[in-house]
């Protein structure tokens, strides 16, 4: 895999690995203000028309619908392909204390094709998750470590010939400030150090990545917001070139 592709994957991992502190609801993990019932996400490749960047083809990996309960817990995710046909859905189950227990993986016919099981500490932070296929075979494991403030400081992902370890530091507002990322994929070692900056809304507007200590890349983001302060549009740039347009449709309680 080439260097630029690895930097893109690592930047996506960075947002994912902020996952499971109890003090943060799933609304916050999705960078949402309170009261969101449904979040519909669509990502598009950029099609340049002269000096104007327009929406191009739909990106299947960014074609998702998420549903929350009134407390901000994620209860359902539906994934779609580039033609908007459903490909997979997750349905989440919680304990009486609203701690994540597991999520069921369902195909478009609503048949079970897998399960992810969560282990939590006494504060409700997810410390371990394991995903199994329909035969009960382990597909991957993930482990998480938190500081006293409930912020995720270390995360590890393990799968057959793939592993990833992230170490994170935060600013005084609890926002991800810097992250060291080490990935081993089929024997290939990838080291990345990423630094994050935020706009006045608290959303990340820049990521500087240094891959294997010798290749730098800058990803920057511009946002459009609704009246409740949730972003509903985002332009993503790579080294100043527009790459992706993401739209979010939000239904509130």
d(CA 26, CA 75): 10
pLDDT in tens, 200-242: 999 999 999 998 877 789 999 999 999 999 999 999 999 999 9
**In 10 A of CB 151, how many CB atoms?**
18
Kindly tell me the sign of the dihedral angle through the C-alpha atoms of 142, 143, 145, 149: positive
Q: Of 139, 100, 135, give the one whose Cα is nearest residue 118.
A: 100
Question: Distance (Å, rounded) from C-alpha 23 to C-alpha 178?
Answer: 20
| Confidence bin at 21 (pLDDT 50/70/90) | very low
Q: How far is the C-alpha of 242 from the C-alpha of 46, rounded, in Å? A: 7
User: What pLDDT score does 161 carry?
Assistant: 86
Supply the pLDDT for residue 40. 98
Of the chain, the end-to-end C-alpha distance in Å amounts to: 43
Could you read off the pLDDT of 35-67 as tens digits, one per residue?
Answer: 999 999 999 999 987 778 889 999 999 999 999
Separation of alpha carbons 179 and 168, rounded Å: 4
Domain assignments of the chain as residue spans, ordered by start: 3-150+219-252
Give the pLDDT score at 14.
54
CB contact at 8 A, 209 and 217: yes
Burial of 176 (0-12, 13-18, 19+ CB in 10 A): buried
Which pLDDT tens digit goes with each residue over 179-195? 999 999 888 898 999 99
Residue 169: predicted pLDDT:
97
Using pLDDT thresholds of 50, 70 and 90, give the confidence band for residue 29. confident
Q: Reply yes or no on whether the pLDDT at 17 is more than 70.
A: no
Helix and strand numbers, DSSP H then E, in the chain: 2, 16
Q: 113: Cβ–Cβ under 8 A, 6 or more apart, which residues? A: 88, 105, 106, 107, 133, 134
What tokens does 14 get? 């960075």
pLDDT in tens, 105-156: 999 999 999 999 999 988 888 999 999 999 999 999 999 999 988 889 999 9
Residue 11, pLDDT score: 54
Residue 61 tokens read as: 């990996």
pTM, to two decimals: 0.86
Give the model's pLDDT for residue 211. Answer: 84
Backbone angles phi, psi at 93, to 5 degrees: -125, 140
Q: What is the pLDDT of residue 214?
A: 76
């Amino acid at each position: 895999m080439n260097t630029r592709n690895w930097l893109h994957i690592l930047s996506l991992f960075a947002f994912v690995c902020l996952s499971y502190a109890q003090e943060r609801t799933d609304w916050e993990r999705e960078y949402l203000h309170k009261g969101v019932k449904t979040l519909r996400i669509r990502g598009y490749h950029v099609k340049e028309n002269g000096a104007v960047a327009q929406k191009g083809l739909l990106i299947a990996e960014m074609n998702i619908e998420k549903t929350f309960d009134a407390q901000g817990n994620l209860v359902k995710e539906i994934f779609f392909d580039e033609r908007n046909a459903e490909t997979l859905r997750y349905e989440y189950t919680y304990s009486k204390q609203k701690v994540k227990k597991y999520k069921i993986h369902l195909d478009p016919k609503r048949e079970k094709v897998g399960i992810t099981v969560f282990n939590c500490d006494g504060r409700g932070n997810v410390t371990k998750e394991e995903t199994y296929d329909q035969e009960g075979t382990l597909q991957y494991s993930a482990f998480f470590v938190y500081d006293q403030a409930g912020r995720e400081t270390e995360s590890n992902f393990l799968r057959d010939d793939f592993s990833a370890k992230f170490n994170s530091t935060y600013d005084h507002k609890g926002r991800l400030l810097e992250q060291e990322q080490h990935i081993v994929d089929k024997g290939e070692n990838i080291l990345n150090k990423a630094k994050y900056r935020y706009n006045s809304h608290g959303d990340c507007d820049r990521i500087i990545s240094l891959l294997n200590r010798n290749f730098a890349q800058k990803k920057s983001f511009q946002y459009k917001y609704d009246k409740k302060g949730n972003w509903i549009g985002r332009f993503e740039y790579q080294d100043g070139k527009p790459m992706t347009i993401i739209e979010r449709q939000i239904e509130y309680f």
